[in-house]
């Protein structure tokens, strides 16, 4: 079996998820969506009654960070995500979770907890791992590192199409708001890792990006 690790980082709406899943499926690799893990912890924090408007939100989240048990299924054709045994796949895509996930993901105790889990899942490799700090922090020895971006307008259009509806301007504002928090935080900020291949996906179809990335992985593996 392949032991390759592919670190797929980039901005929200750059095509990371679709590309990661298709590449993993085509090449027979596993797939880990670390954004889904941060979203799952966020859902648990909402359920635990964290007050996101409070000044001490980071302390509230830190105090609860050890509790939720997050499990990720790594089949790229049917990835799963649970918290305390409950399927949260739909819940984590709600606006409520999206609104708070970057605040939760900036808490060091949450990141440490998920970092341990992510490294355990990566194990001996054979996996495409998608997130913001994969090539820089989670898997700095990954054989392939990518950094995907796209024009904000293109990203908003894709995200709106995925969701089947929604306001383009609001979606774009939301993507840019999360980018700013994610790249500005102190612990493991979203960053292009040293040696990462930068790819602006704006002019390409998903199929073209998948072909390109799969080619890079095959060369490396
Ligand atoms: O990838 P996705 O947009 O689902 O990620 C949701 C949020 O989770 C990001 O905006 C970011 O705040 C956080 N995240 C992170 N580190 C990762 C993956 C996601 O901080 N490796």
Transcribe 175-214 into DSSP letters.
HHHHHHHHHH-SSS---PPTTPEEEE-TTS-HHHHHHHHH
ipTM: 0.98
Q: How far apart are CA 126 and CA 24, in angstroms?
A: 9
Number of neighbouring beta carbons within 10 Å of residue 202 = 14
178 Cβ closer than 6 Å to some ligand 1 atom: yes
Res 69 pLDDT > 90: yes
Has 25 been labeled as part of a binding site? Answer: no
72 forms beta bridges with 81
Task: Write down the pTM of the prediction.
Answer: 0.95
Look at residue 221 in the predicted model and tell me its pLDDT. Answer: 82
Residue 185 has which token pair? 């935080």
Residue 101 has which token pair? 């996930």
Res 165 pLDDT > 80: no
Closest CA to ligand 1's atom 1: 35
DSSP state of 34: H
Condensed to tens digits (0 to 9), the pLDDT of residues 73-89 reads: 999 999 999 999 999 99
Look at residue 28 in the predicted model and tell me its pLDDT. Answer: 98
Q: 38, 104, 139, 193: which to mutate for ligand 1, most atoms within 8 A of CB?
A: 38
Atom of ligand 1 nearest to the CA of 17: 1
Atom of ligand 1 nearest to the CA of 181: 12
Condensed to tens digits (0 to 9), the pLDDT of residues 11-29 reads: 988 999 999 999 999 999 9
Condensed to tens digits (0 to 9), the pLDDT of residues 103-156 reads: 999 999 999 999 999 999 999 999 999 999 999 999 999 999 999 999 999 999
The answer to whether the beta carbons of residues 201 and 15 sit under 8 Å apart is yes
Q: Grade residue 37 by pLDDT with cuts at 50, 70 and 90.
A: very high
- Give me the DSSP letters along 65-104: TTS--EEEE--TTS-EEEETTEE-TTGGGSHHHHHHHHHH
Q: 19, 32, 40, 131: which to mutate for ligand 1, most atoms within 8 A of CB?
A: 131
The answer to whether the beta carbons of residues 213 and 19 sit under 8 Å apart is yes
pLDDT above 90 as % of the chain: 93
């Amino acid at each position: 079996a392949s032991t390759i690790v592919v670190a797929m980082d980039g901005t929200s709406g750059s095509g990371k998820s679709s590309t990661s899943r298709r590449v993993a499926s085509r090449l027979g690799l596993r797939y880990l969506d670390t954004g889904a893990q941060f979203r799952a912890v966020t859902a648990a924090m909402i359920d635990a009654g964290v007050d996101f408007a409070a000044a001490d939100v980071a302390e509230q989240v830190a105090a609860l960070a050890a509790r939720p048990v997050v499990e990720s299924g790594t089949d790229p054709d049917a990835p799963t995500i649970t918290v305390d045994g409950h399927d949260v796949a739909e819940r984590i895509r709600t606006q409520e979770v999206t609104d708070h996930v970057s605040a939760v993901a900036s808490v060091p105790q949450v990141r440490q907890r998920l970092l341990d889990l992510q490294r355990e899942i990566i194990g001996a490799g054979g996996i495409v791992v998608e997130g913001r700090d994969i090539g820089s922090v989670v898997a700095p020895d990954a054989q392939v590192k990518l950094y995907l971006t796209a024009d904000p307008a293109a990203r908003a259009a894709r995200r709106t199409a995925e969701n089947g509806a929604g306001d383009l301007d609001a979606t774009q504002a939301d993507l840019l708001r999360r980018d700013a928090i994610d790249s500005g935080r102190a612990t493991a900020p979203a960053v292009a890792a040293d040696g990462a291949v930068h790819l602006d996906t704006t002019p390409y179809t998903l199929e073209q990006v998948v072909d390109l990335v799969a080619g890079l992985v095959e060369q490396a593996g």
